[in-house]
Amino acid sequence: MINTLALGQRAIKGVLSSNWAPEFTFKFVLTDDDDFQIKTNMIKACFLSSKVCHNLNSDPTIDSIKIEIKKVSKKMIRNFFQLIDDELKLELNASNSETYFEIAQALGTEDIIEELNKIYDSNEKLSINNAIHRLTRKMHSKQNYSAELSLCAQNLTSLVLTDSFGCFFDREKFEILREILEVYSTIAGDPQHEHSIFTYLYENFESKEFLELASYLHLKLLHGEDISYMMQRLSEDNICSQTIQALKIFFGSETNQLMTTSSKCTKVVRMMPFTGIFDKLRNDYGGNPEKTKVIEIITTDSSRFPVSNALNYNDKTCFYNKMKSIEHTYIIFNFKSFKVSISGYELKTRIANQRYNFPKSWLIQGSNDMHSWTTLDQKNHCYDLEGANKSKYFQVKMNQQEKFQYIKYQQLSNFGGYNEQNQISLAAIEFYGNIY
């Protein structure tokens, strides 16, 4: 089927209201190849691109415009320009319509974009097989795409299982899925479908984008393990209002901290960065738990950078000291009348940029007598905290159910030089788990 498309109706209105003359040369230049230039005059340039009209209205001295056209050969671009230059019309068929659409979209030839969308819609009935293609085409050309969006949302599980988004660059994939998920969130969910979509998001996006997209899912239908994976990716750098609201609904809590209390213990689950056991004790006892004597911290301290600073999460203070030797680079937390079991912990580096401030290897251990220590977690040559003002949550996978009065953070090495290994520094430390 061939459609003949007349061009330039919008551009003509702009031309008639201007004083631009045909003898003035105008150039179209490819962004990735300055040598590729198509020269015409200003009148014809306006037929080719409404962007030219808009630019000339704001600055009549403009004589060129840069265009970015991907996946189209230079021969086809020249052909597009030549056809318009000769006839001011295009003959569209199945073999060239996609290419012309890409060029028209890059140029801003609104007449072509609008007419092409009409042709597509009349020739191609909307189905799950073409929904993504039609959706992205209309998104790019700023056409109404509510029907395509609704169909994609209804069939999202099928789309992710067949990796229908695999052809897009990461940022475009994120933006497309965010729009679909906004509609999907209004549709009744299914546990198996939620898990499939969650897994796809988890495997295909970095933490910040993943958390925002996952927040549109029906979290109460997800597996417990899925929620755990989601929590592990949370940090103060990547959490957004959408994620916070979704987690509040999921946990049925209007606070930043989730706690469940039984006759035996209080369980503190990580909902936001640094809202764990120390934060709960601060709220319960009215201040920094070391200052209020709820806990005791055992280490070699310094008056300028005291260890209690590592429990102040809302300021830029930190703990730092130069110890006698690397064997003394530890912090022991004595929970006194309490015992704790640890399911995870969080560390943050100070804002100073010296490399000895960044932990590289360490141990997390528990004890009830400070003589016999049980290892809960060990990190060797870990690069997650190599840098100023970095934070990371770590899950404890060993001895999670063991109850301890003492928890020790033992730094084994930092990213500094050989003679700097006896220096220990942390902006913040927090633990999660049960308080008994």
How much is the pLDDT for 86? 61
pLDDT band at 421 (very low <50, low <70, confident <90, very high): very high
Say which range, 52-61, 111-120, 162-171, has the weakest mean pLDDT.
111-120
What percent of the chain is modeled with pLDDT above 70? 78
Tens-digit pLDDT profile for residues 67-117 = 777 777 777 777 777 766 665 556 666 566 677 777 777 776 666 666 666
Q: What is the separation, in whole angstroms, between the first and last Cα of the chain?
A: 76
Say if pTM beats, i.e. exceeds, 0.75: no
Instruction: Report d(CA 393, CA 348) in Å as an integer.
Output: 9
Residue 14 pLDDT greater than 50, yes or no: no
With a pLDDT cut of 90, the percent of the chain lying above it is 35
More confident residue, 63 or 19: 63
* Cα angle 185, 188, 189; round to 5: 80
Tell me the CATH number for domain 266-435.
2.60.120.260
pLDDT at 38: 74
CATH architecture of 14-109: 2-Layer Sandwich (3.30)
Kindly report which listed range (21-30, 110-119, 170-179, 406-415) carries the lowest average pLDDT score: 110-119
